[in-house]
Amino acid sequence: MVAGGESGEAGNGEPTHYDAAHAFRALPGTLYVVATPLGNLRDLTLRALDVLATASVIAAEDTRVTSVLLRRYGIATQAMSLHAHNEAARVATLMAMLEAGKSVALVSDAGTPAISDPGARLVRAAGDAGYTVVPLPGPSALATAVSAAGLDAEAFVFLGFLPRKAKSRRELLATFADVPAAIVIYEAPHRVRATTADLAVALGADRTLVVARELTKTFETITRIALGDADAWFAADPNRERGEFVLIVDVRPAAQRAADEGLTADAERWLVALLDELPPARAARVVAAATGIRRELIYVRALVLKPPR
């Protein structure tokens, strides 16, 4: 079981302690998808501690990385590797354990498993076979970066890691260039400058780039710059190319988007006002009649401003 000596302070200043007496226990024949810290080991949830301590086995992307976390909290549960190169074979072993009434805790090196990390195949197999799959929410580089980015966008598209080949990378980005949403990707340090250069070409150098680096770690950096200035920003300090990255390209400001789409600022204001009272199709007809702008163009913009429920 987890040692009970970890303590801290609650938001009201009162001390808090790990409560082993009320701990949650991993249930037989159940797969737990457990989010683990991005860097700061105190970001592990209490329920994650419970499951890691009581599961029959931990399926870890890298047992060496996970062992650091387990030692930190005095957890003795056996860990076995499940990574991109052995996932197909390992799934069969873990499924047999579930069939035998064992419980499995799935973890990645950092953050939430199966999000640009191994684990989706195991989750799918367990669910298809009728076993209970329980997600334990917690750290996620994606959510952490977006929450601190201060985006203009009301929606975002997550592309994970882009293709390694430049041609494939550019082709993929081109398909998202006109999507009215922020674009979020993960990137490794040795490719980050090449990737930001491709982002500038595909999406426009004037768009805002948020560089979220080494989240929750000692050298955490969250910076907003023009996408066209990214290369110079990285070049100014070699340390800026180190660590793990979340890159977010924000949408163009509303006025710029309207101009690019053929909507004047006045038409955009009319549309916003009418959408408070009318459905998108009717609002688009009114603005089109008043401005002479194509109704189809206005309707597409109306759906962005007031998406269907």
Across 142-164, average pLDDT: 95
Residue 9 has pLDDT above 70, yes or no: no
Report pLDDT digits (tens) over 104-113. Answer: 999 999 999 9
Higher pLDDT, 288 or 64: 64
Q: What is the pLDDT of residue 79?
A: 97
- Evaluate if residue 189 carries a pLDDT over 70: yes
Give the model's pLDDT for residue 158: 97
What integer pLDDT is reported at residue 302 of this predicted model?
84
**Mean pLDDT confidence for 269-276:** 90
| Four-CA torsion 249, 255, 258, 263, nearest 10 degrees | 180
CATH topology of 7-139 equal to that of 158-250? Answer: no
- Mean pLDDT to the nearest integer, 123-131: 98
Confidence band for 6, pLDDT divided at 50, 70 and 90: very low
Exposure class string for 76-92: b at 16+ Cβ within 10 A, else e: ebebbbbbeeebeebbe
Query: In CATH, what number does 7-139 get?
Result: 3.40.1010.10
With a pLDDT cut of 70, the percent of the chain lying above it is 89
Question: How buried is residue 235: exposed, middle or buried, by Cβ count under 10 Å (0-12/13-18/19+)?
Answer: exposed
What is the CATH number assigned to the segment(s) 158-250? 3.30.950.10
Q: What is the pLDDT of residues 207-253, one digit of tens each?
A: 999 999 999 999 999 999 999 999 999 999 999 999 999 999 998 76
User: What mean pLDDT is reported for the chain?
Assistant: 88
Domain boundaries, the chain: 7-139, 158-250, 255-305
Question: Does 10 score more than 50 pLDDT?
Answer: no
* Per-residue pLDDT reduced to its tens digit, 251-270: 876 545 555 566 777 888 88
Cα distance between the two ends of the chain: 46
Question: What mean pLDDT comes out for the span 288-295?
Answer: 84
